[in-house]
Structure 1
Amino acid sequence: MSSVKPVFRIFDVEKAIAFYIDWLGFTIDWEHRYGDNFPLYMQVSMDDIVFHLSEHHGDATPGSKAFIEFTGDLPAYHKMLLDKNYKYNKPGLEKAPWGGHYIQVTDPFGNNILFNSGE
């Protein structure tokens, strides 16, 4: 096995782009629709982190969570998020009980992403 790509359910493409692309800094790798007026399925990524986002009923359950081992500068990433002033989410940089620090964010559809750093 070489990688894991969580699938998160989304309900609004504009809100998903505002959250994942504009705020968190992911890039859209590709998009797929079976035709006009069909649900969107797309892949987004940031460095080695890859998510699939789906409007398809039954693809995933809202309220899922991804735990990410963040190998970059987590305090700098946290500052970048706060500097963007995204009005729906103002995460803290928390001390983790297991050591290091983490940032937890919730997307507009109830999915949670925990960025963890051992620093």
Structure 2
Amino acid sequence: MECSRIVPVLRMFDLDKTREFYLDFLGGELLGEPPFEPSMPLYLFVSLGGCELHLSEHFGDGMPGANLRIETAGVQAFQQALLAKAYRHARPGLEKPPWGGLEMTVQDPAGNRLTFYER
């Protein structure tokens, strides 16, 4: 068996806040938004620096409070760029865990945690 990639599905509850967080704050790119019926839950495909995430309002898709670890080059520069945006819901700091490397964790509007790390 050979696996090529993982695409996590994260729960979302508020489309506007989710867009603001993933697109405006984190600088992600909207890859798609399937055209479901207007009364159906929403679903987004987002790219973050080459990493694809799916965000879903569908009941049972993802569990609020998930934790993703995303290996990232240039975590400190990314953190400084995020701080410069003065996003009122997050001021991420940097941590040096005991096992080494550098980490920055941010929480999205649904309570999902994204930890960007470099070894």
Q: CA deviation at 1:73?
A: 1.3
1:73-88 correspondence runs (5 A)? 73-88=74-89
Q: State the Cα RMSD in Å.
A: 0.9
Of 8, 15, 18, the residue aligned with 1:16 is 18
| Superposition TM-score, scaled by structure 1 size | 0.94
Corresponding residue for residue 95 of structure 1: 96
Flag the 1:57–1:33 CA change in 2: closer, same or farther, 3 A.
farther
Say if 1:33 and 1:39, in contact at 8 Å, map to a contact too: no
Q: Work out the CA distance in 2 between the residues paired with 1:29 and 1:96.
A: 33
Structure 1 unaligned residues grouped into runs of 5+: none
Q: Work out the CA distance in 2 between the residues paired with 1:97 and 1:25.
A: 29
Moved over 2 A (4+): none
The percent of aligned pairs where both chains have the same amino acid is: 42
Equivalent pairs counted in the alignment come to: 117
| Superposition TM-score, scaled by structure 2 size | 0.94
1:33-89 superposed Cα distances (whole Å, 9 cap, x missing partner): 42122111111002221110001111111000111111x211110000000001111
